[in-house]
Amino acid sequence: MNSLWYLENDMSPNDCIGIDEVGRGPLAGPVVTSAVWISEKGIALIEKDEVEVRDSKKLSHKQRKKVLNWIEKQPEEIMKYSIGKASVEEIDSLNILQATFLAMQRAYSSLNLNKPFTLIDGNKAPELGNTHVQTIVKGDDTVISIALASIIAKEYRDNLMKELDKKYPQYGWSTNVGYGSQKHIYAIIQYGATPHHRKTFSPVKDLDTANKKISKFISSIAR
């Protein structure tokens, strides 16, 4: 167990909800957040069962699946979680930061728990109503509820992108999960953008601008 779970040593986890996001940087797909509440007994069980919980980026898919399998066995009095999403359309309309806040608000609301503290990874956070919101830089390394949220959100989003890959296999979403890999960028240039691409993100935005200029030029010479 990570000895740096300092917050759970200083505060009762029974009073805290942790929130993290996944998918702010990709060129395609939604941004996904998770809100997690875990009891003191739940943390003790994680230690007893030797479940490896840390920042999702530092775990393999196999390791994250083991954590999820453990989570799914727990009753709500041990831990509870929810998912919040913001769509590509909302990302393009609001910008990625505000869309992430919206997804966090949805996850928090769906959890349907009233706790005194809500701990959010990073240095910016949305308004969440009647709870004290505290941001924690690298919280997924130091707060167990945030680390759990990062694992849940990542696996949820990765699975979603792998499902979309079945319809759009040329973009490589089964492996890059929407991030700007070389294969993904080449596919955007070759095949264009899908409805799941973020139109305000480069190079999708740049390609769209170029296509509009070409269309305008063709229209002008066709007159």
Span 168-177, pLDDT tens digits:
999 999 999 9
**Mean pLDDT calculated for residue range 40-66:** 91
Residues 6+ apart with CB under 8 A from 6: 142
* pLDDT above 90 (res 220): no
Q: Kindly list the domain boundaries of the chain, sorted by start residue.
A: 6-222
Whether 193 has a pLDDT exceeding 60, the answer reads yes
Q: What is residue 64's predicted lDDT score, i.e. its pLDDT?
A: 95
Instruction: Return the SS3 of 133.
Output: strand
Q: How far apart are CA 36 and CA 20, in angstroms?
A: 9
Residue 16's SS3 state is: strand
Q: Which fold has domain 6-222?
A: Nucleotidyltransferase; domain 5 (3.30.420)
The residues, any chain, with a CB within 8 Å of residue 187's CB and separated by 6 or more, are: 170, 171, 172
Q: Tokens 């069962």: give the residue.
A: 49
| Burial annotation 74-107 (CB, 10 A radius, 16+ → b, else e) | beeebbbbbbbbbebebbbeeebeebbbbbbbbb
User: What's residue 13's pLDDT?
Assistant: 79
Handedness of CA 24, 27, 29, 30 (dihedral sign): positive
How far CA 61 is from CA of 37, 49, 198, in Å, comes to: 22, 19, 25
Give the bridge partners for 197, in sequence order: 28
pLDDT at 105: 98
Q: What pLDDT score was predicted for residue 12?
A: 77
- Give the phi and the psi of residue 38 in degrees, each rounded to 5: -130, 135
- With a cut of 80, say whether residue 182 has pLDDT above it: yes
Phi, psi (degrees; rounded to nearest 5) at 72: -65, -20
Q: pLDDT band at residue 9, thresholds of 50, 70 and 90?
A: low
Classify strands 132-136 and 117-121 as parallel, antiparallel or unpaired: parallel
Query: What per-residue confidence (pLDDT) applies to 74?
Result: 96
Contacts (Cβ under 8 Å, ≥6 apart) of 20:
33, 34, 120, 121, 139, 140, 146, 147, 149, 150, 153
**Cα separations in angstroms, 171 against 59, 62, 105, 204, 218:** 24, 24, 30, 13, 28
For residue range 66-96, list pLDDT tens digits in order.
Answer: 999 999 999 999 999 999 999 999 999 999 9
